[in-house]
Amino acid sequence: MSQDQQGHDEHGHEHQQSFISHYIFSTDHKMIGKQFLLLSAIMACFGGFMAYLIRWEVAFPNTPAPFFGLVTPDKFNAIITLHGTIMIFFVGMPFLSAFPSNFLVPLMIGARDMAFPKLNMASFWITFVGAVLLVSSIFVPGGPVAGGWVGYPPLSASSEFTGVKIGAVLWILALACALVSSSLGGMNYLVTAATLRAPGMTFNRIPMTVWFLLASAITFFFSAGPLIAGAFMMLMDNAFGTGFFLPAKGGEPMLWEHLFWFFGHPEVYVLFFPALGFGLDIMATFTRKPVFGYKLILWCTGSAVALSYIVWAHHMFMSGLNPLLATPFSITTILISVPFAIIIFCMFATLRNGAIRLELPFLWIIGFLATFLIGGLTGIFLGSASADIYLHGTYFVVAHFHYTLFPSVFFGGFGAVYYWFPKMYGKKLNEKLGFLHLALTFIFFNGTFWPLFKVGMGGMIRRIADPSFYPQYHQFQGLNAFATVSAICLIATQVIFLWNLVLSLNHGPQAEKNPYQSNTLEWIADSPPPHGNWGPVLPVVTSDPYEYSKPGEAKDWQPQATNLPV
Amino acid sequence: MFEMLGNLPEQLSSFAGDIDSVLKFINLLTGIFFVGLEGYLIYLVVRYRQKKGKTAKYEHGDKAQILWILAFTLIIVFLDFLIDYKGAHVWATVKEDLPACDMTVQVQAKQFDWTFVYPDKDGNFGPNAISSYREFHVPVGKKIHVVLTSKDVIHDFFLPEVRLKQDVMPQRFINEWFDTQKVGTYHIVCDELCGYGHTRMTAVLHVDDQQTFDDWLASKEKEQQGGTAQ
Amino acid sequence: MDKNTTLPVLGFEPGDQLPTGHYSGPVGLTPGRLGIWALIASEIVLFAGLFGSFILMRLINPGWAEEARHLNLYAGTLNSLVLLTSNFFMMKSSKSFVEDRAEDARKFMVFTMLAGFVFLGIKAYEYSGEFAHGEFPTSGGFWSFYFLMTGIHALHILGGLFAIFLLLSKTRHEPLVSLASRANITGIYWSFVEVVWIFLFPLLYLLA
């Protein structure tokens, strides 16, 4: 992308640095953040293309997909597996956790860099290796792994059931890379926020984005360990023929399900928390109001993190788990909705009595709220064990989790990109193209996944390569075709964003330091911030992050630090 | 959201209606909240957009406001529990309590087909048991006890019209039950990705009247004895 | 906006690693210490996953007790002692860093590493004995877990040895006092690896 050339113009003072130490093996937190962003964009192209192939096959089975050819059942199984793995671990995690944590955490707390810059660099390159392993698995003999992204054994644990051996090993290694990299990253963000805050940056003055990125890191940190252990076992099963998960060799497939979902459910919050954080910051800026219930939100976040570790079995109601366990896990599932409901209501209360500037980042966040709400509400269907007897494994589930993940990753993530873009590159994005991008994304996203609720209610099951084989699903052909056309349009819409990126980086107007009159520290730094962020003097924080519209003040904002010329 | 339930398949078992009523109840509640919350969101954004001469209110959330939020959250929790309370007996009926059944059938799954094994005359699943490949015949109105087991990977036994679903685990025997109320032909699908042929791993559920069922079973037995032993 | 003038004021060349900022953590908690505890916390969750899985499977399979008897209890016990000794040396070395006794610091680090290698040697001897008896990772659930858990632990030992080696080579160029914190952190990690073994040993060898 043009990011590289752009960097050259912007970072004139770093010309002495070699290209490699500046762009490739950089230890600068901002460059590493941008590397994660670029990586997630590239991987999103793979994931998006696979989404298109899946939708094509479901709507128009047994017809060759343009630009690919016929999606046969073996290819279909591999594509759904790769789509899930890529989108969660190599798009969602870098885009929503690693990129903003790297770019924003030091800037927002007033540090010059991460606590462990080299570890930070390592964490990017481990993810990169993982991404390369995963993509390369497409080309190895036997093809890529085809056991579903949840990797249920015995199917995923032995080549005797799928015929895939090398692909499966590469998949687990890629998964392990992603897990290790995110753990190392999370450790770095935590230590940075704990030890490197600018003078005066007390806990009560930390912006919401940082709090939620940390919550995300902690949630990940304590849920990934068991899955890393599970990945080791899966690796040995696949590569060396052990039988951890193979009943024929005395193993237990259910063990993997527990290890996987102990991680898998918190992972949803790992991706949801950052979006909430961006949302609160962006809302405060554009409503010109303090965030409603700052401390209440933090308490809720803490309890949500704690509760996220004891809800996993609601993914396993149909797995042969003791049915008596359904009740306790239903109750914890209900309890975890409490903190999230309060946070969402606090967001509503922040809007109330505001003076809302309907600018682009804000509208992305409203799009995030509006769509995520549907994801949250449909979760109630699936959290009910008795309703799950019917809905488990149908397209209803597909629609539900896309309504939770897509709003977080894309609406929340793009909100953040549009909001912080001037700070990242010193250029403004084109507003008109941005609005178009938002409007079309919103329409086509709903067009893609809303019909799937109806299809799922009709009992159509997921992960079948050939719905034409099922006469009872022929009635859904129209809905499925509609969803597929919407999905193709949704993917095509993202080209607008890429075009906007290229256009704005090359011809966009120069951005000011603080285009939105926002309070938080990153807006005090230059756009883009130089190496070391702050020049000779560190900012000294003198006020809370959201002191907007304070009565009796001349202007309706008050930067958190005042010792630097603004 | 309301029109969504129109796609539900017909109700075959005695508990299908109960499951549907849970779905309908959740659909009603979430539908109300969906309309209310989305409406309120749009209202807030439109009502409080920036106007000349008006500034935002400087508020961090005082006790009274926070109490409002907590009260509203409590209502949601109450409704959540209500949903679970309503669903609990359905769950207990379908999954927890195995009633006295009229007959037992073993359902064997393997990549990529279903075999339904009926006990021999003495009620044993020995060498004389009667196997039916991809065709599941049951007498109407009777309670059927199914014992699910898999030979290789995890499958999932899903009868959409019965509203019964259960993962089939390798080398384990999972007990489920269902009954039927109408004669006809219905669907059986595998709802857990099980490999290359997963997409075609279906079977047919024939609900017959008692006479037809007995005839079918007898003919099946004869066929098996006459042909090569399994 | 004149970045070209602000940076030289600080006395940094453009490529330099800048000091990361104002220190705001609680007294006595360096980023390194916090980092190592965070790392250990994540490792604990990993081992909790492993141990939990093993205990669960062990409860399902009472027959594993018989297989556990085939382990070399003497070698295992000896290894526990070796690792304890190694930890003792590392603590002595850590202390020498604070007291600025370079010779002692290096000597005890070498002892620590020697003990670490002896541990790995004994482990390799055990493995070869088990292979000779026809017990491989594929020889059943217990052996899969045994080789996986001891293998992951051995990897941690290797990692720790590497960290100690790096520290040792640094003492040639840097004053001891500036490395004291690093020595402390390395020591904490080495103790953690020891503690994992303390749990692993009874779980595998003694639960027969």
What pLDDT does residue A9 have? 37
Q: What is the pLDDT of residues A217-260, one digit of tens each?
A: 999 999 999 999 999 999 999 999 999 999 999 899 999 999 99
- Length in residues, chain A: 566
- Is chain A in touch with chain C: ≥3 Cβ pairs within 8 A? yes
- For residue C89, give how far its alpha carbon lies from the nearest alpha carbon of chain A (Å): 28
Contact A201, A192 (CB under 8 A): no
Mean residue pLDDT of chain C comes to 88
Q: What is the mean pLDDT of residues C182-198?
A: 95
What pLDDT does residue A564 have? 58
Question: Over 70: is that where the pLDDT of C1 sits?
Answer: no
Q: How far apart are CA A185 and CA A93, in angstroms?
A: 11
Question: Over 80: is that where the pLDDT of A147 sits?
Answer: yes
Q: Percent of chain A beyond pLDDT 90?
A: 88
- Which of A350, A317, A311 lies closest to A332 in space, CA to CA? A311
Question: Over 80: is that where the pLDDT of B155 sits?
Answer: yes
What pLDDT does residue B4 have? 74
Chain A residue with CA closest to C14: the answer is: A14
Beta-carbon neighbour count of residue A45 at 10 Å? 14
User: Touching A: which chains, 3+ CB pairs < 8 A?
Assistant: B, C
Question: Would you give the DSSP letter of residue A409?
Answer: I
What pLDDT does residue B1 have? 46
Q: What is the mean pLDDT of residues C171-182?
A: 88
What pLDDT does residue C9 have? 34
Sign of CA dihedral B25, B30, B33, B34: negative
Q: Which one of B51, B81, B202 has the shortest CB-CB distance to A334?
A: B81
Per the structure, how many domains does chain B have?
A: 2
Residues B76 and B132 in one domain: no
Q: Is there a contact between A240 and C25 if contact means CB atoms under 8 Å apart?
A: no
Confidence band (pLDDT; 50, 70, 90) for A17?
A: low
Domain C29-206 = CATH 3.40.190.10:
no
- Is chain B in touch with chain C: ≥3 Cβ pairs within 8 A? no
Contact A57, A97 (CB under 8 A): no
Q: Which residues of A touch C46 (CB under 8 A)?
A: 225-226, 228-229
Q: How far apart are CA B103 and CA B94, in angstroms?
A: 17
Q: Is there a contact between A190 and C38 if contact means CB atoms under 8 Å apart?
A: yes
Chain A residue with CA closest to C9: the answer is: A536
Residues B208 and B189 in one domain: yes
Q: Which residues of C touch A223 (CB under 8 A)?
A: 45
Q: Hey, is the C-beta of C38 within 8 angstroms of any chain A C-beta?
A: yes
What is the ipTM, given to two decimal places?
Answer: 0.95
Chain B residue with CA closest to A287: the answer is: B56
Residues B215 and B109 in one domain: yes
Residues B62 and B30 in one domain: yes
Q: What is the mean pLDDT of residues C14-39?
A: 77
Question: Would you give the DSSP letter of residue A394?
Answer: B
What pLDDT does residue C35 have? 92
What pLDDT does residue B36 have? 96
Domain extent listing, chain C: 29-206
Chain B residue with CA closest to A461: the answer is: B191
- For residue C208, give how far its alpha carbon lies from the nearest alpha carbon of chain A (Å): 19
Q: What is the pLDDT of residues A482-511, one digit of tens each?
A: 999 999 999 999 999 999 999 999 999 999
- For residue A129, give how far its alpha carbon lies from the nearest alpha carbon of chain B (Å): 28
Question: Over 90: is that where the pLDDT of A16 sits?
Answer: no
Q: Hey, is the C-beta of C8 within 8 angstroms of any chain A C-beta?
A: no
What pLDDT does residue A20 have? 77
Q: Is there a contact between C49 and A225 if contact means CB atoms under 8 Å apart?
A: yes
Question: Looking at residue B161, which CATH number applies to its domain?
Answer: 2.60.40.420
Domain spanning A22-523 has what CATH number?
Answer: 1.20.210.10
Q: Hey, is the C-beta of A117 within 8 angstroms of any chain C C-beta?
A: yes
What pLDDT does residue A1 have? 33
What pLDDT does residue B118 have? 95
What pLDDT does residue B226 have? 75
In C100-202, alpha helices (H): 102-132, 141-170, 176-201
Q: Which residues of A touch B57 (CB under 8 A)?
A: 289, 353-354, 549
What pLDDT does residue A537 have? 81
Q: Is there a contact between B94 and A389 if contact means CB atoms under 8 Å apart?
A: yes
Q: Hey, is the C-beta of A228 within 8 angstroms of any chain C C-beta?
A: yes
What pLDDT does residue C176 have? 87
Q: Is there a contact between A351 and B44 if contact means CB atoms under 8 Å apart?
A: yes
Q: How far apart are CA B150 and CA B137, in angstroms?
A: 20
Q: What is the pLDDT of residues A336-373, one digit of tens each?
A: 999 999 999 999 999 999 999 999 999 999 999 999 99
Q: What is the pLDDT of residues A277-313, one digit of tens each?
A: 999 999 999 999 999 999 999 999 999 999 999 999 9
Residue with tokens 């015995």: A154
Q: In terms of C-beta density within 10 A (0-12 exposed, 13-18 middle, 19 or more buried), how is residue C81 classed?
A: exposed
What pLDDT does residue A12 have? 40
**CB within 8 Å of C155: residues ≥ 6 apart:** none
Mean residue pLDDT of chain A comes to 92
What pLDDT does residue C207 have? 79
Domain that holds residue B138: 103-226
Confidence band (pLDDT; 50, 70, 90) for B3?
A: low
Residues B71 and B111 in one domain: no
Confidence band (pLDDT; 50, 70, 90) for C19?
A: low
Q: Is there a contact between A154 and B154 if contact means CB atoms under 8 Å apart?
A: yes
Q: What is the mean pLDDT of residues C141-154?
A: 95
Q: Which residues of B touch A341 (CB under 8 A)?
A: 72-73, 76
Confidence band (pLDDT; 50, 70, 90) for A429?
A: very high
Q: Which residues of A touch C49 (CB under 8 A)?
A: 225-230, 259, 262
Question: Over 80: is that where the pLDDT of C20 sits?
Answer: no
Question: Would you give the DSSP letter of residue B10?
Answer: P
Q: What is the mean pLDDT of residues C147-159?
A: 96
Q: Is there a contact between A354 and B56 if contact means CB atoms under 8 Å apart?
A: yes
What pLDDT does residue A475 have? 94
Q: Hey, is the C-beta of C5 within 8 angstroms of any chain A C-beta?
A: no
Q: What is the mean pLDDT of residues A169-176?
A: 96
Confidence band (pLDDT; 50, 70, 90) for A75?
A: very high
Domain closes at, from B69, B96, B123 = B96
Question: Over 70: is that where the pLDDT of C3 sits?
Answer: no
Q: What is the pLDDT of residues B21-62, one digit of tens each?
A: 999 999 999 999 999 999 999 999 999 999 988 889 999 988
Q: Hey, is the C-beta of C53 within 8 angstroms of any chain A C-beta?
A: yes
Q: Percent of chain C beyond pLDDT 90?
A: 69
Domain closes at, from B67, B96, B125 = B96
Residues B120 and B170 in one domain: yes
Residues B219 and B110 in one domain: yes
Instruction: Say how many CB pairs under 8 Å bridge A and C.
Output: 174
